[in-house]
Amino acid sequence: MFVKLIQIIWTSPNTLIGLVVGSAGLLTGGKAQIREGCIEFYGGVVEKWLEGLNVFGMTLGHTILGQTKTGLRIVRKHEQVHVRQYERWGPLFLPAYLGWSAWLWMIGKDYYRLNPFEVEAYAIDDPANRNADSDDSDDGIDQSDF
């Protein structure tokens, strides 16, 4: 319990960003749910923003943003890897992630798939190999939609 509290505090600057973006989603017709210790937001402006970035999901601390509820089921395991990375790196995660991506882009490499944070997440779960019907992580045990 103490370790989890420290992780929540350590990731809180990034979680706050996610809560602000997620709240904007709620104000524009989006929804939220709690899964695996995270608040997930989908729909509304969150969906439009992620569509513009050409991604199905994004993690910010203990918040996960998704285009749709189904999309979140597909990317949940991958995004949960990022949650654990945030718990290790805390407020240093975003600068480290963006720094790696910038370096890879400057040397002409794939700044997304070769980013070590993504390499770890894809090694554990590649959402491209999943579909919403095969994902069992939406079992309703840790669920409350609001």
pLDDT tens string, the chain, 146 residues long: the values are: 889 899 999 999 999 999 999 999 999 999 999 999 999 999 999 999 999 999 999 999 999 999 999 999 999 999 999 999 999 999 999 999 999 999 999 999 999 999 999 999 999 888 777 555 554 444 443 444 54
Domain assignment of residue 142, yes or no: no
Beta strand extents in the chain (DSSP E only): 31-35, 38-42, 57-60, 63-66
Domain that holds residue 24: 2-131
117 inside domain: yes
In-domain check, residue 69: yes
Helix axes 44-53, 2-27, angle to 10 degrees: 100
Q: Is 57 helix (H, G, I), strand (E, B) or coil?
A: strand
Is 126 part of any domain?
yes
Predicted TM-score of the model (pTM): 0.86
- Domain assignment present for 141: no
Q: Evaluate whether residue 137 is within a structural domain.
A: no
Per the domain annotation, does 83 fall within a domain?
yes
Number of domains making up the chain: 1
Residue with tokens 């090694």: 123
Q: Assess contact for 64 and 22: CB atoms under 8 A.
A: no
With respect to residue 113, please indicate whether it lies within any of the assigned structural domains.
yes
